[in-house]
Structure 1
Amino acid sequence: MTKRTSAKYKIDRRMGENIWGRPKSPVNRREYGPGQHGQRRKGKMSDFGLQLRAKQKLKGYYGDMTEKQFRRIFAEAERLKGDTGENLIGLLERRLDAVVYRAKFVPTIFAARQFVNHAHVMVNGQRVNIPSYRVKEGDVIEVREKSKQLAIVLEASQLPERDVPDYLEVDHSKMKATFVRTPGLSDVPYPVMMEPNLVIEFYAQN
């Protein structure tokens, strides 16, 4: 498991939301924050607080991403034509670790990063071990032959808690996925509401 596996539940509790939709999330049992003061009544959050939380939630959802990496993706989304928020979501969903997770080759986004790092994944027949590698429309992503019988892979494909989105075509019998198109915000099956518009406001003011 990755270094953030235990911390992912802390993220859930800090946000007060089950951001991955996992059945074991502590938020399913109690929605207040961690620590001895977690149950105190929350005051009204400032605009900055709302923007910061929206940014932390979106960044946290994609695993061990640093602030520097996330800001760089945001800057690229700003440069592209069209809506910056939609561009940001599209760029995040084109990361190889995100595609591996969406295709249900592994159970969590954290496991996806490790899975790619350990060279279990091929893109268009070539091994790729960079989680941030950006796939293109039409790319074929597959689990390497010798990795297809790993327990983590077999378990993930059977998970009932999430479906494969329609911008991917996945054949679990071959552990192969095709990235059909770049999604927009409404296409992505986030278990909680993501607010890229607040992320844009955050970076505009900071």
Structure 2
Amino acid sequence: MSKRSSAKYKLDRRMGENVFGRPKSPVNKREYGPGQHGQRRKGKMSDFGIQLRAKQKLKGYYGDVTEKQFKKTFTEAARMKGDTSQNLIGLLERRLDMIVYRAKFAPTIWSARQIVSHGHIRVNGVKCNIASRRVNVGDVIELGPKAREMALVMEAQGLAEREIPDYVSPEGNAKITYTRVPTLDEVPYPVRMEPNLVVEFYSR
């Protein structure tokens, strides 16, 4: 399990956007960057800076996956047929922790990863504790019996700011079927993601 190395909302402050779409985000009150000089730091960004920022935003959204994992996912996306940026989003959305988050089994991507690593998730009836596992189309993901009673799960299911996307088909409160790999415009990001800039960043 990759450990969260920075405060949950630091990414929001650094990007100047509510990356996770959470009501408590400090960006809702302060749109400037963190630190002593945050309000003054508004210089013109280079192309490299813009690409790096797009990569940090996308990587951070998926729970700050390690650079090694993220680059490996990009390399795989580049080898696949079709548009690399769409392939990258498709591979990231197939992560088990992300499916658990999309299904509203957890309030944040970090808590989704924790629920998986603690063995509370079953894939096609078999317990799985690997958050980075790829889910295939047609796979059924469900909460274990203990998880169904957890306050964290009940809180997630009551969240008004998030909807379950079309490619995750619910069957009651504790089970979903992953129906298809989504395209970029189907993924419910709270902010604009630019995977094409991530492709440019790694293709330099």
TM-score (norm. length: structure 2): 0.97
Identical aligned residues as a percent: 68
Question: Paired residue for 2:175?
Answer: 176
Confirm or deny: 8 A CA contact 1:64 1:110 kept in the other structure.
no
Contact 2:119 2:127 in 1 (8 A): yes
Answer yes or no: is the 8 Å Cα contact 2:73–2:91 preserved in 1.
yes
Q: Which runs of 5+ in 2 are unaligned?
A: none
Matches within 5 A, 1:24-103: 24-103=24-103
Deviation at 1:5, TM superposition (A): 8.7
Match of 2:203 in 1: 204
For the 8 Å contact 2:19–2:61, the answer to whether it is kept is: yes
Write the mapping of 1:148-167 to structure 2, written as runs, cut at 5 A. 148-167=148-167
Does the CA contact (< 8 Å) of 1:157 and 1:172 recur in 2? no
2:121–2:129: 8 Å Cα contact kept in structure 1? yes
SS of equivalent to 1:77: helix
| Equivalent residue letter for 2:147 | S
Paired AA for residue 68 in structure 2: K
2:122 match: 122
Q: Distance in 2 between matches of 1:16 and 1:147?
A: 35
- What is the count of residue pairs matched by the alignment? 203
Alpha-carbon displacement from aligned partner over 1:64-112 (angstroms, at most 9, x marks no partner): 3100000000000000000000000000000000000000000000101
Structure 1 moving runs of 4+ over 4 Å:
none
Alignment CA distance shift 1:191-1:82 (3 Å): same
Q: What TM-score comes out, normalization by structure 1 length?
A: 0.96
* 1:14 Cα deviation after fit: 0.5
Instruction: Give the equivalent residue in structure 1 for 2:185.
Output: 186
State how far apart, in whole Å, the 2-side matches of 1:41 and 1:138 are. Answer: 47
